[in-house]
Structures are given as structure tokens and as C-alpha cells.
Amino acid sequence: LGLVYYYKNDLTKAKEYLNRSLELREQINHKIGIAITLHNIGLVYDAEKNFEKAQEYYERGLKITEEVGDKKNMAYSYAALGRFYMEHQQNKKALELAKKSMMLSKEIGYPETIDRGATLLSEVHEARQEWSQALDMYKLHIQMRDSINNSETQKATAKQQAKYEYEKQKAIDDAEHEKQLAIEQEAKEKQQILT
């Protein structure tokens, strides 16, 4: 709900729900959940232009993912914090974090994190006027985006195929059921005639 309100630009409600989520996750000591919620609260503060608070929450979330060793969320956190630094003209720090994100993303082979890291690296290299590296990372971003879209297309096709097979089998089963009912009805009628 916090993210829904964030995307609706109701930042007060977003913070309210995200803070409630944070409290609950802290009560059950769900570390990754805590890290994700801290990151999301950072997004809200960033949108409010409270950059000091946003940075604080991003860094707290990153610290937890590092402690836990969750590489996927570490890659996301590095990319988010890198983007934050890039937007605040701290390109050296942004580049360092973007490289960490990309290294982890490639290590785990997760296309979404590779795409995110490549996009950020492309933008950082562009800001630093390192055109060749920016182009290389942009090409990687396109490759990952196409891979993600292709896998999503494959999933959608498989889902459609399964739906078609289900409906086809259901039609066959329904016809068989109707036939069975007709046979039973005919048998009842014969029994009544005999009676």
C-alpha cells in the first residue's frame, strides 16, 4: 500500500504505510523485508526532496543487504544509491556503486538487475563524457531489456497455451458428461417403460 500511495504521489500516506510495514518487519526480524522497506522509504524522502533522509534510508537498507549477503537486493540497493548519487552530481561515487551493482548482477545472472546496472552505468559514463563505455553499457541494457521482454513473451505464450489446452479439455469433458447424462436418462426411461 505504501508503494501504491507513492506512485499516486500521496507521499504522506506512503510514508505512513511504509513505516507501519517497517515496524512489523522489525517485530518479526525479517531482515530482507526491512532492507526493502528502508529503500522504499528512501524513495519517498527522495521524492519529497529531503535528500539527507533519503540517503540515510538507502544506506541503512544497503547495510542490511550486505550483512545478510542477499546479492540480488544488494545489486538493487547499489543501483538505487548509485542513481541517487548521480542525480546529485556525485559521479565518482555513482560510478563506484554502479560497478558494484553490475558485478553482483553478472555474478547472479539476473537479467533485471543487469539491466538496471547497465542503464545506470550508461548514464554515469555519459555524464562523465566516457562515450565508448556509455555505448557499451547501453547496448547491454538493450540486450537485457530484450531478454526480459522475450522471457515475458514466452511466459505469456505458455499461459495462453495452457488456457487453451484447459478450455479444450473442459469442452471434451463437458461433452462426455452430457453424453453420460443422456445415456443415464435413456436408461431411466427404459426402466420406466418396463415398469
Query: Does 175 have pLDDT greater than 80?
Result: no
At 156, the pLDDT band (50, 70, 90 cuts) reads low
Instruction: Work out the burial of residue 144: count CB atoms within 10 Å of its CB; fewer than 13 is exposed, 13-18 middle, 19 or more buried.
Output: buried
The x, y and z cell numbers of residue 100, run together, are 558494484
Q: How far apart are CA 89 and CA 84, in angstroms?
A: 9
Total Cβ atoms within 10 A of residue 5: 18
The widest CA-to-CA distance across the chain, in whole angstroms, is 97
54-73, pLDDT tens digit by residue? Answer: 889 989 998 999 898 888 88
Amino acid at 68: V
